[in-house]
């Protein structure tokens, strides 16, 4: 099974501060994704990437940047964290050359105070 | 509106009972997945099920892509089945990732 590792697993950030969430996958998947989960909204796609050094906007990209420096690593960056960005964030990957099954990391609980 | 509708929103079971969870999609889709979200929050992939029926232990997933629906059957429920079950669809442009429903929260009591 695909291994997707997120760090940190939880974080408390100050409003206006910079936050970086990291994701690492070890299965040579081409696609990587960042989702956030909020009560009442389910999981929503923030950014995704299908190749290193390139990222694409998902459904809710405002207030977030993404970076994919290598095939294995995908980061989510909050330049100016806000209270509304308190949520659980999930990283995921898939290998569309095989099929489109998506594998998720364990999530990062971010609290902005 | 919600593109992925899950029902029921919550379910309470006595240990040993069976359950059927439904997922309906408002648009054409390429494939779908079922996930289990543990009470502590992590996601576990249960089924990747473009079409047809798949079984894993006490869980059975049946998807009819043309009818835009999928179901997850839990047989002989156990306390450890408690958690939230999420279904998600993939559009024909798979690059856009998955679109999730809001989930069915299952609680199993002895």
Give residue A2's pLDDT: 56
In order, the DSSP letters of A41-108 are TEEEEEEEEEETTEEEE-S--TT-EEE-SSSSEEEEEESS--GGG-EEEEEEEE-TTT---EEE---E
Give residue A100's pLDDT: 74
Tokens at A29, concatenated: 């998947």
Does residue A14 or residue A1 have the better pLDDT?
A: A14
Closest partner residue to B48 (CB to CB) among A45, A90, A101 is: A101
Does residue A39 or residue A72 have the better pLDDT?
A: A72
Min distance B16 CA to chain A CA atoms (Å): 29
Give residue B1's pLDDT: 63
Q: Do B97 and A35 touch (CB under 8 A)?
A: yes
pLDDT at A6 over 90: yes
Min distance B37 CA to chain A CA atoms (Å): 10
Closest partner residue to A42 (CB to CB) among B30, B48, B102 is: B102
**Chain A CB within 8 Å of residue B1 CB:** no
Mean pLDDT of A86-94: 95
Q: Do B98 and A45 touch (CB under 8 A)?
A: yes
Mean pLDDT of B33-61: 92
Q: Residues 41 to 60 of B: which have CB under 8 A from any A CB?
A: 41-43, 45, 48
Mean pLDDT of B28-57: 90
Q: Do B33 and A48 touch (CB under 8 A)?
A: no
Residues 6+ apart with CB under 8 A from B57: none
Give residue B11's pLDDT: 97
Please, how many CA atoms are within 13 Å of residue A69, restricted to the half-sphere of its CB? 6
pLDDT band at B10 (very low <50, low <70, confident <90, very high): very high
pLDDT band at B101 (very low <50, low <70, confident <90, very high): very high
Min distance A106 CA to chain B CA atoms (Å): 5
CA distance B13 to A107: 28
Tokens at B66, concatenated: 């043309």
From chain A, pick out residues whose CB is under 8 angstroms from the CB of B31. Answer: 99-100
Q: Do B33 and A101 touch (CB under 8 A)?
A: yes
Give residue A1's pLDDT: 56
Does residue B40 or residue B22 have the better pLDDT?
A: B22
pLDDT at B107 over 60: yes
B70-96 tens-digit pLDDT = 999 999 999 999 999 999 998 766 667
- A/B interface, count of CB pairs below 8 Å: 59
**Chain A CB within 8 Å of residue B10 CB:** no
Give residue B27's pLDDT: 86
Min distance A32 CA to chain B CA atoms (Å): 9
Mean pLDDT of B16-40: 92
State which of A17-26, B63-72, B85-94 shows the largest mean pLDDT: A17-26
A28 backbone φψ class: left, alpha, beta (φ>0; ψ -120 to 50): left
pLDDT at B54 over 90: yes
A46-59 tens-digit pLDDT = 999 999 999 999 99
């Amino acid at each position: 099974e695909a291994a997707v590792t997120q760090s940190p697993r939880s974080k408390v950030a100050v409003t206006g501060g910079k936050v970086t969430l990291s994701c690492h996958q070890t299965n040579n998947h081409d696609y990587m994704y960042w989702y956030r989960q909020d009560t009442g909204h389910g999981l929503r796609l923030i950014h995704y990437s299908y190749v290193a050094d390139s990222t694409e906007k998902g459904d809710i990209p405002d207030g977030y940047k993404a970076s994919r420096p290598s095939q294995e690593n995908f980061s989510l960056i909050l330049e100016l964290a806000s209270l509304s960005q308190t949520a659980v964030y999930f990283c995921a990957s898939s290998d569309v050359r095989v099929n489109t099954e998506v594998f998720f990391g364990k999530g990062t609980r971010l609290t902005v105070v | 509106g919600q593109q992925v509708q899950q029902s029921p929103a919550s379910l309470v079971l006595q240990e040993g009972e069976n359950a059927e969870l439904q997922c309906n999609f408002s648009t054409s889709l390429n494939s779908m997945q079922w996930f289990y979200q543990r009470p502590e929050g992590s996601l576990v992939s249960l089924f990747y099920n473009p079409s047809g029926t798949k079984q894993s232990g006490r869980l059975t997933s049946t998807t009819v892509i043309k009818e835009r629906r999928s179901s997850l059957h839990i047989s002989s429920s156990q306390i450890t089945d408690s958690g939230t079950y999420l279904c998600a669809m993939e559009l024909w442009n798979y690059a856009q990732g998955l679109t999730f429903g809001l989930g069915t929260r299952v609680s199993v009591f002895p």
